[in-house]
Amino acid sequence: MQVGTAASVILRLLKALSLTFSLPLASFCGELEYYFASPTLQPLEFIKLTPLTNCGECGYAACLAFAAAVTKGGENPQKCPYVDANLLGEEFAPAEMGSERSGVAGLLDEKDKALVAHLKSKVRELDFSLIASKLGCTWSGPTTDLLRFRYLGHDATLSREGVFFGGKEVEEPRDQILLYNYVYYGGGGDLSGEWVGMESLPNSISKVRTLRVYCEERIAAYFCGKKALLRESAGKIDGVLEDVQEQSCAVSFEVAVLPCLPMMMLFWDEERDEGFPPRVKVLFDRNVLAVLDLESLVFASERMAERLVELSQ
């Protein structure tokens, strides 16, 4: 993932967590908003650098979708083999090997690690033996005092000192933030069993577009014409294929992103003869906000999209 995309995710998580944990993060969020404002190049300007053929070699169904992802979402412009790097501004120039990290990356390194450390301090206060069952986790016992669970195809272990996938410590701060936050929430209440779109959740208006751009549209574009590959990737993140006949979709599956965080994904493939592009809809349990806050929920969805793409390659 590009630095800009990762930063936008961390920024949104920070804002939510500042409310959850009463953290003094307002000034830092302001710094990130300054650094990660949308590039000066707009989608309709960037698209002029593409071949305008909607060939799909970049992984997006249309050149305009790719242009929007580059200028608004931090996507790598070089994913289009026809874009001339010499015509791109400095804002798209990759950092040189061996050079000092940019001010943006430096900020992320310092601040996200500080946030992870703070969340660890909160989790240290919890009694894992009491919350394990509510979280859908397995408690290892008093000797090691660990929580074990599945996370998007990973065998995850969470201790008071770190998060591990398959015994290897996780370095990605976004995953650490999400998993520590999930544990801190304590599992919430009972789920309703009723699937709804994000637009049906309280105070979600500003999150619907984020979910669409970073999760739904990404899955739709990447797996266009690849139904079998999507089914295969879904199985690798513990997804269970479902037959949702009333939706007439090409692929549908339910996946527990975290033990108490189920999601339903519906995929409609492209119908060129009818002029319909590929489309994805992600559904959540109506009571999902008892399990996780909105920002973390959107991020969990984005990680699902990333894992589906990653495991298909």
Summarised one tens digit per residue, pLDDT across range 177-236 is 899 999 998 877 788 999 999 999 999 988 999 899 889 999 999 999 999 999 999 999
Spans of the chain below 50 pLDDT:
1-4, 22-39, 95-105
Q: What is the pLDDT of residue 311?
A: 93
Joined together, the tokens standing for residue 20 give: 């959850």
For residues 199 and 192, what is the distance between their CA atoms, to the nearest angstrom? Answer: 17
Q: What is the pLDDT of residue 234?
A: 96
Q: Domain boundaries in the chain?
A: 3-92, 195-311
Fold of 3-92: 3-methyladenine DNA Glycosylase II; Chain A, domain 3 (1.10.15)
- Taking the complete model, does pTM exceed 0.85, yes or no? no
Q: What is the pLDDT of residue 246?
A: 62
Q: What is the pLDDT of residue 169?
A: 93
For residues 184 and 178, what is the distance between their CA atoms, to the nearest angstrom? Answer: 10
